[in-house]
C-alpha cells in the first residue's frame, strides 16, 4: 500500500485529434481496486482510511483517459453498499470537472459501463454520465468520427429507455444535444508500415511466415521443419541486415519507429526455432530496447514493448541480467512470482 501510494501519474496534457499515442491508466486504477481487500484491515476501513485512499485516486482524474478505468475501479472494488454509494458520489462529483477531449473520449468510450444492468444497479451514475457524454460530444469532434452516431450515445440511450421507458426521470440524449460545435483534425492511422524501409521489412516478414504460398487456411504457413532450411535462414539473415540498417529518421515519429522495430523483432522471435539463432535474436531485441529507454519520451510505449518481451519465460534469467534496471527488476519479479 505504501509503495502504491508513492506512485505518481505524470502530468498529462489534453490530447488533440491528431495525436497518435495516448496513455493507458488501466493498471493504475485496477491495482487500487485489488488493494481494497488485500491492504486494509477492518480497523483501517472503520477509520475511513479505505474510502480516503480511493477518493485520493479519484481526485487525480484529469482527462477522459482517467474516466473509464476509474469508473471500473468504483464498480469492481469489494466495498460495502454504503462505501460504494459514497465512492460513486465522489466519482460523479469529479466527472463534472473533466475537460473536453474527443480523442481521449474515443479511447475509453467503451469502458464507461453504459449497460442497463450497471446503471439500474447504480442509478446515481445516469445523470452524471449523461452530462459527461454530452459535454465530450458537443465540443470539437475528431474528423474521422464526425458524422457517425457515437456508440456511447447508442448504449446510454438504450439503457435509459430500458430503465425509464416513460421518461419520467431520465431523458435519452437527443441528436441536438450531442451535435458537435466544430470538426477537429483526423487521426492519421496509416502512418505505420508506409516508409520504403518498413515496406521491405513487411514483405520479408510475409515470406518468412508463409512464403506467399497460395494455399488454403493455415496450410500456407511454413512448418517448423521448413523454417530450418538454408533458404529460410538466408531470407532471415537478409531481413536482419535490413532491420539493423533501419534508422529513426526514416519514419515520421520516433514512437512509430520503436513500435515497428519491436513488432519485427517479436515476430521473428516467434518464427525462429529454439537454439542459438533464437538466443542471438532475443539478445538483439533486448539490446534494442535497452538502447531506446533514454531517447523515447513515451515511457508507456517503451514499457508496452518490454512487457511483451518479458512474456517469453524461457529467457527471463537473461532479462534479469539486463543493463536496464527496469527490465531487470520486472524480470526478477516475474521469476519470483513463478516459483
pLDDT at residue number 299: 83
The mean predicted confidence, pLDDT, of the chain is 90
CA separation for the pair 152, 106 (Å, rounded): 9
Mean pLDDT throughout 183-202?
Answer: 83
pLDDT at residue number 45: 92
Closest C-alpha among 32, 25, 71, 30 to residue 53: 32
Burial 272-295 (b: 16+ CB within 10 A, else e): beeeebbeebbeebbebbbebbee
Residue 12 dihedral angles phi and psi, to the nearest 5°: -125, 135
**pLDDT at residue 43 above 80?**
yes
pLDDT at residue number 188: 63
User: To which H or E segment does residue 183 belong?
Assistant: strand 182-183
Q: How confident is the model at residue 148 (pLDDT cuts 50, 70, 90)?
A: confident
Q: Return left, alpha or beta for 328; rule: phi > 0 is left, psi -120 to 50 is alpha, else beta.
A: alpha
Q: Environment class of residue 49 by beta-carbon count within 10 Å: exposed (0-12), middle (13-18) or buried (19+)?
A: middle
pLDDT tens for 238-272 read: 999 999 999 999 998 888 899 999 999 999 999 99
Q: How confident is the model at residue 17 (pLDDT cuts 50, 70, 90)?
A: confident
pLDDT tens for 264-295 read: 999 999 999 889 999 999 999 999 999 999 88
pLDDT at residue number 22: 79
316 within 8 A of 282, measured Cβ to Cβ: no
The fraction of the chain above a pLDDT of 70, given in percent, is 97
Residue 89 CA to its chain's centroid (Å): 27
pLDDT tens for 82-105 read: 999 999 999 999 998 998 888 899
pTM above 0.85, yes or no: no
Q: How confident is the model at residue 189 (pLDDT cuts 50, 70, 90)?
A: low
- Considering Cα of 88, then 90, then 95, then 98, what sign does the dihedral take? negative
Amino acid at each position: 500500500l505504501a509503495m502504491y501510494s508513492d506512485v505518481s501519474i505524470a502530468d498529462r496534457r489534453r490530447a488533440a485529434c491528431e495525436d497518435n499515442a495516448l496513455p493507458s491508466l488501466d493498471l493504475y486504477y485496477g491495482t487500487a481496486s485489488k488493494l481494497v481487500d488485500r491492504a486494509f484491515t477492518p480497523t483501517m476501513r472503520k477509520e475511513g482510511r479505505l474510502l480516503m485512499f480511493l477518493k485520493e485516486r479519484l481526485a487525480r482524474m484529469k482527462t477522459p483517459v482517467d474516466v473509464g478505468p476509474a469508473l471500473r475501479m468504483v464498480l469492481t472494488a469489494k466495498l460495502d453498499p454504503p462505501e460504494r454509494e459514497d465512492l460513486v458520489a465522489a466519482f460523479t462529483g469529479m466527472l463534472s470537472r473533466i475537460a473536453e477531449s474527443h480523442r481521449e473520449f474515443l479511447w475509453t468510450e467503451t469502458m464507461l459501463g453504459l449497460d442497463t444492468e450497471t446503471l439500474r444497479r447504480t442509478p446515481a451514475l445516469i445523470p452524471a454520465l449523461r452530462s459527461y457524454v454530452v459535454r465530450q460530444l458537443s465540443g470539437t469532434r475528431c474528423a474521422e468520427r464526425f458524422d457517425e452516431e457515437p456508440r456511447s450515445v447508442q448504449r446510454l440511450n438504450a439503457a435509459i429507455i430500458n430503465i425509464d421507458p416513460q421518461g419520467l426521470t431520465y431523458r435519452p440524449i437527443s441528436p441536438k444535444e450531442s451535435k458537435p460545435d466544430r470538426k477537429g483534425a483526423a487521426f492519421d492511422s496509416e502512418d505505420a508500415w508506409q516508409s520504403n524501409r518498413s515496406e521491405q521489412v513487411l514483405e520479408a516478414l510475409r515470406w518468412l511466415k508463409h512464403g506467399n504460398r497460395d494455399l488454403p487456411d493455415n496450410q500456407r504457413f511454413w512448418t517448423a521443419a521448413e523454417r530450418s532450411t538454408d533458404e529460410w535462414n538466408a531470407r532471415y539473415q537478409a531481413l536482419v541486415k535490413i532491420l539493423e540498417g533501419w534508422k529513426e529518421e526514416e519514419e515520421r515519429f520516433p514512437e512509430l519507429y520503436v513500435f515497428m522495430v519491436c513488432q519485427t523483432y517479436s515476430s521473428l522471435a516467434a518464427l525462429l526455432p529454439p537454439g542459438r539463432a533464437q538466443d542471438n535474436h532475443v539478445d538483439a531485441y533486448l539490446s534494442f530496447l535497452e538502447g531506446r529507454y533514454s531517447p523515447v519520451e513515451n515511457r508507456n510505449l517503451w514499457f508496452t514493448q518490454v512487457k511483451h518481451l518479458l512474456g517469453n519465460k524461457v529467457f527471463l534469467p537473461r532479462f534479469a541480467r539486463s543493463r536496464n534496471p527496469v527490465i531487470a527488476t520486472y524480470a526478477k519479479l516475474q521469476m519470483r512470482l513463478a516459483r
